């Protein structure tokens, strides 16, 4: 995809399903009734949706690195999908899957291409789960897709889903302080995730029972290619979902606390994903907090890792506006 073609997709249309001429409906996830699997009629569809739910909340026990059947070891850590996609992927602004079928296929800057739901699932498998891709025709992939579709029932294709992704929040215009974040962590996070960030195991290593509270760094967590390894993304997740009991409308941390504690978490070692230089091939639309090379904004690597981000966002916006203008000029000449 050329830069100008990508600009037209990213800066113009967005998800393919939103290209319809009619105004898109808006669906609010907050307060929306969650579909109940128990109310589905017995049969293969219900069984598949139930398996998708189980894969979401007990990933470690079904396709984790400690399951007895080595052929089923797709996840490379003992997290659950629900470690991030909270409340079985139903919680508003905790990256819920409700509405996924309304917004995919969609353009993804990381690939600079239009991605399907299946490709998005495998992106998480290879990054957040530090594992390997599921075969598209596997029962596991079908179950994930079926469960997401079940959660999305009643949400029209092309709808604006209020509560999807994460709630935006303004980043402090300064370098994040992992040192200050260490104090926030000790006061508000260590009780669940442990003073060493290794979480709380349900059983013992090797028993495929996962964690009551997941590790945040070390070998059994997401790798450095995961979206959660980006400071802006991690800050927004922490701000609106942490500590336990927090939500988008009942936060417990200030903007500065969330920013610094996320930086503290991301300053720690974690698995390394190979070939990250292949991510965001268009470069100009690479998120400013993607803390791996190559870069094109002229800032030091430390700024991409810990900020300040507003100057980078502004510079990237200027580049994007220039590309958008060139794309518009190309279209005008072609008429």
**DSSP of 244-268:** TT-BTTB--S-HHHHHHHHHHHHTS
Tokens 């030091």 sit at which residue? 300
Q: What does the mean pLDDT of the chain come to?
A: 93
| pLDDT bucket at 14, cuts 50 / 70 / 90 | very low
- State yes or no: pLDDT of 32 exceeds 60: yes
The residues, ordered by sequence, that sit 6+ positions from 57 with a Cβ below 8 Å of its Cβ are 80, 81, 82, 88
pLDDT in tens, 230-273: 999 999 999 999 999 999 999 999 999 999 999 999 999 999 99
Banded model confidence at residue 21, pLDDT cuts 50, 70, 90 = low
Quickly state the pLDDT bin for 311 (edges 50, 70, 90). Answer: very high
Q: Which residue has the tokens 């319809």?
A: 20
226 vs 244: CA distance, rounded Å: 22
Question: Is residue 9 scored above 80 in pLDDT?
Answer: no
The pLDDT of residue 16 is above 90: no
* Separation of first and last alpha carbons in the chain: 21
pTM over 0.95: no
Distance CA 136, CA 237 (A): 29
Structure tokens at 238: 């922490």
CA distances from 299 to 110, 152, 288, 304 (A): 20, 41, 10, 7
- Nearest Cα residue to 159 out of 292, 14, 293, 308: 14
Asked whether the beta carbons of 180 and 188 are under 8 A apart, the reply is no
> Please, which pLDDT band fits residue 335 given cuts at 50, 70 and 90?
confident
Label residue 307 by pLDDT band (50, 70, 90).
very high
Q: What percent of the chain has pLDDT over 90?
A: 89
Q: Give per-residue pLDDT as tens, 198-218.
A: 999 999 999 999 999 999 999
Q: Which two tokens stand for residue 114?
A: 């239009």
Task: With cut-offs at 50, 70 and 90, classify the pLDDT of residue 18.
Answer: very low
* Confidence at residue 22, expressed as pLDDT on a 0 to 100 scale: 66
Q: What is the pLDDT of residue 24?
A: 80
Average of pLDDT values for 30-37?
A: 96
pLDDT at residue 15 above 70? Answer: no
Residues 6+ positions from 159 with CB-CB distance below 8 Å: 24, 25, 26, 27, 99, 102
Residue with the larger pLDDT of the pair 256 and 14: 256
Does the pLDDT value for residue 7 go beyond 90?
no
Q: What is the pLDDT of residue 19?
A: 47
Bridge partner list, 213:
200
Give residue-wise pLDDT tens across range 47-96.
999 999 999 999 999 999 999 999 999 999 999 999 999 999 999 999 99
């Amino acid at each position: 995809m050329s830069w100008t073609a990508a600009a037209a997709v990213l800066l113009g249309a967005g998800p393919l399903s939103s290209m319809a001429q009619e105004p898109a409906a808006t669906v609010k996830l907050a307060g929306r009734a969650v579909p109940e699997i128990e109310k589905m009629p017995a049969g293969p569809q219900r069984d598949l949706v139930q398996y998708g739910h189980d894969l979401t909340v007990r990933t470690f026990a079904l396709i984790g690195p400690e399951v007895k059947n080595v052929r089923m070891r797709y996840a490379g850590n003992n997290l659950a999908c629900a470690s991030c996609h909270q409340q079985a992927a139903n919680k508003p602004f905790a990256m819920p899957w409700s509405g996924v079928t309304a917004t995919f296929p969609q353009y993804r800057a990381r690939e600079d291409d239009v991605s399907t739901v299946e490709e998005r699932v495998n992106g998480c498998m290879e990054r957040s789960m530090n594992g390997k891709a599921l075969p598209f025709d596997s029962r596991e992939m079908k179950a994930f897709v079926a469960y997401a579709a079940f959660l999305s029932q009643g949400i029209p294709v092309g709808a604006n889903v209020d509560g999807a992704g994460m709630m935006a929040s303004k980043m402090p215009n300064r370098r994040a302080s992992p040192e200050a974040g260490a104090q926030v962590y000790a006061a508000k996070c260590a009780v669940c995730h442990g003073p060493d960030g290794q979480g709380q195991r349900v059983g013992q290593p090797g028993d495929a029972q996962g964690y009551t509270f997941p590790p945040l760094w070390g070998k059994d967590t997401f790798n450095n290619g995961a979206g959660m390894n980006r400071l802006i993304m991690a800050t927004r997740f922490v701000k609106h979902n942490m500590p336990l009991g927090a939500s988008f409308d009942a936060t417990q941390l200030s903007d500065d606390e969330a920013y610094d504690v996320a930086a503290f978490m991301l300053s720690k070692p974690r698995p390394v994903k190979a070939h990250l230089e292949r991510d965001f091939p268009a470069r100009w639309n690479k998120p400013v907090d993607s803390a791996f090379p190559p870069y094109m904004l002229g800032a030091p690597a430390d700024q991409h890792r810990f900020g300040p981000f507003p100057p980078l966002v502004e510079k990237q916006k200027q580049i994007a506006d220039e590309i958008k203008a060139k794309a518009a000029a190309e279209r005008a000449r072609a008429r």
